[in-house]
A and B are shown apart, each in its own frame.
Chain A
Amino acid sequence: MQIKVDPSVIRQTKWYEYAVRFLFGGLITVAAGIIAKRFGPDIGGLFLAFPAIFPASATLIEKHEKQKKEEEGLQGTQRGREAASVDAAGSAMGSVGLLVFASTAWQFVPRFSTWIVLMGATVAWITVSVLIWHVRKRV
């Protein structure tokens, strides 16, 4: 299956749908900092992988896929659910990359410059995630 970019989604998304994700993203980042200060970095760190915008994103995918089918005159509820499910399965694969990101940061943050570690960890995340996705597609 080929990877494609579909810019039509940008037009489909309402301004408040962007705002909700910005709000939740900002809130969880603030919350992670406050929790770390109050309860320690070992607890605060857990929230660096909290699925804060997952409910908003999954709802958006479900809604957009449903709308697409209904514009074609078809019943889109089931299609919307399936699309959200497939997206969540992709996120489960991506979470292995997230684990690699965390491990890389844990091991290298004390030894190297911040930006080099964060860039390296991000490259590790995307490489591992894409690799797992490709392997999963072939199996």
Chain B
Amino acid sequence: MSQILIRFLVGGAVVSAFAIIGDLLKPKSFAGLFGAAPSVALATLGLTIATEGASYAAIESRSMIAGAIAFMAFASCVSWVMMRYKVSALLVTICSIPLWFGIAFGLWYIWLK
């Protein structure tokens, strides 16, 4: 339970810190770089190495490559749709989440399984 609480607090703090840095920066295209910050990975990998070992963390990191490729497709899709159609950011981002799942798990199935 305490492990979960630590993960929650560290994760929330690291993700928020990168999000605030992104908020502060201009132009928005540069600030957007921080939307793809490795915040969850930074919060997770240190704790994972300490509890599960380096090999376990290395496997997670390898899978993260597939997650990052899916993230690229997700962010590109959100940007493209928002530039061309009159839809809200919330709707586009939520509706594009299945794209992340499709690509991430597709790559996992082809490459990592």
Fill in one digit per residue for A92-134: 1 if any B CB lies within 8 Å of its CB, else 0.
1111111101110110011000110010011001100110010
| Chain B residues whose CB sits within 8 angstroms of the CB of A95 once the complex forms | 36, 68-69, 71-72, 75
Contact indicator A89/B75 (Cβ below 8 Å): yes
Show 18 residue pairs from A and B whose CB-CB distance is below 8 angstroms, ordered by the A residue. A18-B20, A22-B12, A28-B11, A29-B40, A42-B113, A46-B63, A47-B67, A55-B89, A57-B22, A59-B88, A84-B78, A90-B33, A92-B75, A93-B32, A94-B37, A96-B72, A98-B36, A105-B58
Q: Are A106 and B62 in contact (CB under 8 A)?
A: yes
Residues of B at the A interface (CB closer than 8 Å) are 3-4, 7-16, 19-20, 22-50, 52, 54-72, 74-76, 78-80, 82-83, 86-90, 92-94, 97, 100, 104-105, 108, 112-113
Taking A25-B16, A48-B45 as known contacts, 6 extra A-B pairs with beta carbons closer than 8 A to each other, sorted by chain A number, are A33-B4, A41-B60, A49-B64, A49-B68, A98-B71, A103-B65
CB <8 Å contact, A102 and B15: no
Contact of A25 among B11, B30, B45 (CB under 8 A): B11
Distance between Cα atoms of A9 and B58 in the complex (Å): 37
Does the CB pair A90–B15 fall under 8 Å? no
Q: Are A105 and B64 in contact (CB under 8 A)?
A: yes
